[in-house]
Amino acid sequence: MPERLVLWGPPVVERVPDDPDYADFLPAWVQKCADVGVTKIVGGDRTRALTEAAHAVGIKVDPYINYNSFPRHGWARVTYGWSLDFLRPPVTAAEARAVMDSHRPIYDAPKVTTTMTDFAAKNPQFRSLTRTRSYTLQPGDDLYLSAAFPEVRAEQNQQFLDTLAKTQGDGIQVEFVLGNEDENGAVPYGYEDRTVNEFQAKHGKNPFDLPNDDPEWLQFRADYVTLALTEMRAVVKQAKPDAVFSTTLIAGEKEDYLKLLHDWPTWLEQGLVDEFYIWFRTNSNLDALQRQLSYAVEVSGGRTPVIAELSCYHPGSFQQPDQMLRAAEAAMDCGADGVGIYRSHAVEQLDFWPVLEKMSKL
């Protein structure tokens, strides 16, 4: 049996956290989780009410904050209109699910929406730049701040502290999500003066003379991410010594991670995380799961619990019950210390509650 059965996402109830009677709807939902064997909720709704309700039935809660290698503080996001916007029956109706399961979605009317956090707007000197050195976002670009600046790392650390204090959770998770990549799958940023100058001082080379995916240049930028995690862990543990500090990464081949500045073998070697999650998000290939998870378990060498995060939410994920169960079985056979499902809305809409229960008994 898995030591940990994890569910990601907020409670799926008939109220939202701002409603005055929201907390009244939580006990039934967390009991539903407990009844199928869930031991931890990750993400949740960032309320203390959920933590208290979950604790009442023996479930732990770790809120998460999604994060990029260099923190994202804005974007020029392209959104689309979708044919599913014109679904005739109510989206919650059974007949709507039947239509959605057979319909091939069509997109149209792209629209660019540009946003920027107040912190980024007030501190343009902290921007992380690409080789173009442009401050103008093109459609699809994200706005990143440089992890080379201690002020940027401190601002991010405060977000984690605030969330932990607000929820009184048992821990906190750094959810590494994907951002902009170049044609080789490497992050394109890090070309601001501070990072470039520090690399030149250490290695005697100019990053502009190197390919973006030069291993030494990638490692140098990845070291800032490791530094940021080191500081995050320190402030979290200072605030709550017994807090579980974990990370989740989207699964890839071992040569892919450094391109995203995810030097996670070093994180495990240095004891920076208490639990390490591998997120199978848009790939439901079992051979890939076994290969990628086995590598993580091997690198961990028993030092850090490794948990497989299996999505039934994303395109290309494990959306069939038997498919999800085979994935969970494969994960346990690879030596994972636990398994879980992303995310709660999909569990509810696809009726994966029985699947979770079966996973708890593997």
Q: Cα separation of 246 and 64, whole Å?
A: 9
**Integer angstrom CA distances of residue 248 from 176, 272, 355:** 6, 13, 22
The answer to whether the beta carbons of residues 362 and 1 sit under 8 Å apart is: yes
The answer to whether the beta carbons of residues 40 and 4 sit under 8 Å apart is: yes
The answer to whether the beta carbons of residues 325 and 312 sit under 8 Å apart is: no
Does the pTM surpass 0.85? The reply is yes
Distance of CA 74 to the CA centre of its chain: 17
Tell me the β-bridge partners of 175. Answer: 66, 248
**Integer angstrom CA distances of residue 16 from 22, 90, 162, 242:** 6, 20, 20, 30
Closest CA to 224 of 264, 181, 261: 261
pLDDT of residue 283: 96
pLDDT mean values, one per 10 residues, the chain (362 residues): 92 97 98 98 97 99 95 98 97 94 97 98 98 96 98 98 98 97 98 98 98 98 99 98 98 98 98 99 98 98 98 98 98 98 98 98 95
Q: What is 4-71+146-188+215-360's CATH number?
A: 3.20.20.80
* Local structure of 53: helix, strand or coil: helix
Domain boundaries, the chain: 4-71+146-188+215-360
Q: In degrees, to the nearest 5, what angle opens at C-alpha 167 toward C-alphas 162 and 171? A: 85
Q: What are the φ and ψ backbone dihedral angles of 250, each rounded to 5 degrees?
A: -70, 130
* Preceding peptide of 133 cis, ω within 30°: no
Q: In degrees, to the nearest 5, what angle opens at C-alpha 203 toward C-alphas 200 and 209? A: 60
* Local structure of 340: helix, strand or coil: strand
Q: What are the φ and ψ backbone dihedral angles of 357, each rounded to 5 degrees?
A: -65, -40
